[in-house]
Amino acid sequence: MTLILFLAVVVFMLVRTGDLRVWQVVVVGLLGIELGRSHLADSITNFLVQIFGILTNSH
């Protein structure tokens, strides 16, 4: 949940500075929703868990 909040703040700041358009945020959000509902959701989740595991254990 903390990661989602952090990403929401980053997206909000990018939209405010003009580096990211609102329509781009909407398109990426819709893509995320559709990917979450597809058969690829489990594969994407497993991949991200592995990547975050590698990044957090590489001290």
How high is the mean pLDDT in each 10-residue block of the chain (59 residues)?
75 85 87 85 91 83
pTM: 0.57
Give me the pLDDT at residue 35, please. 82
**Domain span at 17:** 2-56
Give me the pLDDT at residue 58, please. 65
Looking at the chain, how many residues does it have?
Answer: 59
Q: Count the domains in the chain.
A: 1
